[in-house]
Amino acid sequence: MTDLEFRGDAATDPVAGDRISARESAGGITRRRMMGYLIAAPTLVAAARWAEPAEAAIPTIQASDAFDLSDLLNLAAAATANLVSVRVNSDGTASFDLHRAEVGQGITTATAMIIADEMDIPIDRVKITLADARPELLFNQLTGGSNSMHSIFTPVRAAAATARGQLMQAAAAELGASVSDLTARAGVISARDGRSATYGALAKKAAVTRSAVVTPQLKTRAALQLIGTDQRRIDGPAIVRGEKQFAMDLDVPDALPTMVCRAPTINGTALGIGNAADVKAMPGITDVAIIPHSTYVPGGVAVRGKTFGQCIDAIRALKVSWSAGTAPGKSDASVLADLRKAELPLTPALPGKTVEEVFTFHFRPGDPLETNCAIADVRSNSAEIWSCCKSPIHVQGLIATTILKMPLAKVKLHVTEGGGSFGRHLFADAAYEAAAISKVLRKPVRLMWHRTDNFRQGRVHPMATSRVRMTYLGNNVISHDQRHTSVATDFSHGFGDAITAVDAQLPLQNFVQFSTTIFTLTQNIPYDFGVVTQLLNEVYDIQTFNTSSVRNIYSPDVRTASELVIDRVAEQMGKDRLAFRREFAKDDRMRAVLDKLAQEGGWGRSLPAGVAQGVAVHHEYTGRAACLVELDTRPETVNRKIEKGYSGPRVTKVVYVVDVGLPINPLGLRAQMMGGVMDGIANALSYSLHLKDGYFLEGSWDDAHYTRQWNMPLELRVIVMPQTTNEPGGAGEFGVAATMAAVACAYRKATGTMPTEFPINHAAALDFEVSPNIPSIPQSPTDGLKKAGLKRPRRKRKATKKRTKTTTAKTRS
């Protein structure tokens, strides 16, 4: 503490409860205080952290605590190193290096809003960048569990408030006025006599030469003007101009395009290349090398060349011998049989009437639109990596210790913005692989996965079954048992640090320490149903299939199974499906979203035969949600022709009511629910992978049917409930589960048949031609002009200056 000077009585002066969060915890409400720091720097740098560590110890099964880093920091000599900080620049802007990944969920915008609001600065003067891997942040650099806003809201506010407070002090000195006579607005501090100073002008004067501790004065809720208002994305202008930079857009010298020829079956390893020299001699190709499959590196045969197109040609020309991989011969049917064998028994039945069903949920992709990609420049004693990582501390540690065998400090990991994630970037497969390739080739590489590889060798949502049995007696539901049996979900990223991640690789640790923990902490039945049990069992180890926490993890499947059985129970008890849910809802917040849904959704309106409504609710991320769906299953709709598209039953209307506690940016929140709704529709109706002979058959977006324009609801309303608590709950994944369940319930009602297999089109004959698995990727088409309606003769008539015969690989395709 020798470098710190205390100002005020930060250690004893509690900040008013309504200003600082009251957080929900297992033991009830805990109130904690923030401490502000002024950090010695050329211009003003203000930071903050929780005053007390959390009650929980590391690494406890209380995930919600472990995710929150501020809880785990201790007041060590290097206290200021662990902080997240706001920097005020001489041009009047404020900078913040965000310790979370932006992957489309809008946290850069929300963070800018929080800082702008607390500092009284226009939002366009807040500059948000993504922090490199910072091991000193321990658990606090994980983007997952829809937890970002929940965990950073108060610390960021406190840092911004500390900055504002110090700017006021500096202005008071500058203007010869007392702080109470000053007002701050839009980055300018004014005295009563009209004199003023800008934040830019004060940035240096407000800087300190000795770091100090202060008590941040956070604004009251009423004084916050931006929080709770619609704000457009701060990266919108860059996006629409095509200027937003993703990993593959970065200019890193000599990082040439690199791709990997992958095994025909899941996780096969390359044993030998029959024609390495020939392929290396192909146009543009600079390198060909085997990269063995390992726990972290997917691997295969890497090719590096002048363009990605030439890498594709080279991959298609390679002759490689492969091992069988980790799932040889496995198919949907064999995995289902293994899941059935592993199902845990139900509790002994209670007296009463029972309803019981078992459901199957097939593998589905976890793919964002940007494929796995990373740039790596590995030198003999240092390395620099660029990739979108949601657990960068863990990734940096692994690359240093396991892949490169270098001291941690020699590995720099830059977090790039991601073209979507949906859980995928919790794992940095591309970063590991790029590092491994660059190490072998001794050259910088720009590694990009092919789309087909992303589907076939990438991470997926695990296949699962879910058995639900409900018992009712008279007017009461007396039990709800659920046995969820799943292919193992890989949680080996731990909670984003090096320690718990290593544990997860130990035999059984993934299940004991993470799967069951996360299942228990995320799953609940939001109804008073008497004796409720929900248990998870898993099959296979985490190396068999490549899985990850795909958006909303277990909840979409678990909730769908439960809500379908609830519908049957409601009907057997002679109750309206929505009224039944309201009657048994556990709390007032849930009843409020259901009331709003009934009021705004047109529940119970008359619809033609084959069209029906479904309703479902969800409670997670400290929020409540309810979804109403109308689904059209009439033949003329189901069989409508879409060129190269899957039509099927059409969701015609969705009304989604969501209570997240404190909504920060309702415009962004509605966007997240919209995306979740599209995922829920896809999960229920059309989006899956077919496993056969040890590999997934789908290889493109026309094979795996994620929601497209022709599937989306013609009417979508997202209703954000007014603020109900002092803290923002999770948003990024919160739209999926209730939607999937409501679509399934609508399907049951519309068809009169209980759907027991999801998505509902999975069992039908394949509607696409399976692309070969050798070579591992298809060639790009050549008919782009024809499809655009341009007629071109096969040969160019003029134009090129020279017409030499080329030695390109035309004939191979």
476 lies in the binding site for another protein (CB under 8 A): no
740 lies in the binding site for another protein (CB under 8 A): no
| Residues listed for the chain | 813
Q: How far is the CB of 400 from another protein (least distance, A)?
A: 28
Q: How far is the CB of 155 from another protein (least distance, A)?
A: 25
Q: Of 50-58, 91-99, 308-316, 572-580, which segment contacts another protein by CB under 8 A? A: 308-316
Comparing CB distances to another protein, the nearer of 605 and 798 is 798
Yes or no: say if 526 and 617 are a contact pair by the CB < 8 Å rule: yes
* Count of residues near another protein by CB under 8 A: 96
Q: How far is the CB of 658 from another protein (least distance, A)?
A: 15
**What is d(CA 269, CA 284) in angstroms, rounded to the nearest whole number?**
26
Beta strands in 324-389 (DSSP E): 353-361, 364-365, 373-378, 383-387
Among 700, 752, 763, 772, the residue binding another protein under the rule CB under 8 A is: 700
453 lies in the binding site for another protein (CB under 8 A): no
770 lies in the binding site for another protein (CB under 8 A): no
Among 99, 125, 233, 589, the residue binding another protein under the rule CB under 8 A is: 233
638 lies in the binding site for another protein (CB under 8 A): no
Stretch (H or E) spanning 695: strand 695-696
600 lies in the binding site for another protein (CB under 8 A): no
Tell which residue, 658, 465, 455, 679, has the closest CA to residue 557. 465
Residue type, 685: L
Question: Looking only at residues 323 through 382 of this chain, which bind another protein when binding is defined by CB under 8 A?
Answer: 367-371
Yes or no: say if 364 and 681 are a contact pair by the CB < 8 Å rule: no
236 lies in the binding site for another protein (CB under 8 A): yes
Q: How far is the CB of 308 from another protein (least distance, A)?
A: 5
User: For residues 498-516, b (16+ Cβ closer than 10 Å) or e, as one string?
Assistant: bebbbebeeeebbbebbbb
Question: Looking only at residues 403 through 442 of this chain, which bind another protein when binding is defined by CB under 8 A?
Answer: 417-422
Q: How far is the CB of 278 from another protein (least distance, A)?
A: 16
Yes or no: say if 614 and 559 are a contact pair by the CB < 8 Å rule: no
Question: Looking only at residues 657 through 676 of this chain, which bind another protein when binding is defined by CB under 8 A?
Answer: 667-668, 671-672, 674-676
**What is d(CA 249, CA 388) in angstroms, rounded to the nearest whole number?**
12
**What is d(CA 765, CA 672) in angstroms, rounded to the nearest whole number?**
33
The single-letter DSSP state of residue 404 is: I
Comparing CB distances to another protein, the nearer of 71 and 417 is 417
Cα 502 → chain centroid: 22
148 lies in the binding site for another protein (CB under 8 A): no
Comparing CB distances to another protein, the nearer of 23 and 424 is 424
Comparing CB distances to another protein, the nearer of 22 and 667 is 667
Binding characters for another protein, 91-120, by CB under 8 A (x = yes): ------------xxxx--------------
Note if the bond before 507 is cis, omega within 30 degrees: no
Comparing CB distances to another protein, the nearer of 2 and 811 is 811
Among 246, 379, 521, 610, the residue binding another protein under the rule CB under 8 A is: 246
Question: Alpha helix (H) ranges present in 602-700?
Answer: 635-638, 666-685
277 lies in the binding site for another protein (CB under 8 A): no
Give the list of residues 6+ apart from residue 237 with CB closer than 8 angstroms, or none. Answer: none
**What is d(CA 369, CA 451) in angstroms, rounded to the nearest whole number?**
9
Q: Of 119-127, 217-225, 448-456, 584-592, which segment contacts another protein by CB under 8 A? A: 448-456
248 lies in the binding site for another protein (CB under 8 A): yes
Among 166, 387, 482, 707, the residue binding another protein under the rule CB under 8 A is: 707
Stretch (H or E) spanning 5: strand 5-6
Cβ-based neighbour number of residue 350 at 10 Å = 14
Dihedral pair phi/psi, residue 304, rounded to 5°: -125, 140
Comparing CB distances to another protein, the nearer of 208 and 678 is 678
Question: Looking only at residues 775 through 804 of this chain, which bind another protein when binding is defined by CB under 8 A?
Answer: 778, 780-785, 787-790, 792, 796-804
Region for 360 from its dihedrals, namely left if φ exceeds 0, alpha if ψ lies in -120 to 50, beta otherwise: beta
809 lies in the binding site for another protein (CB under 8 A): yes
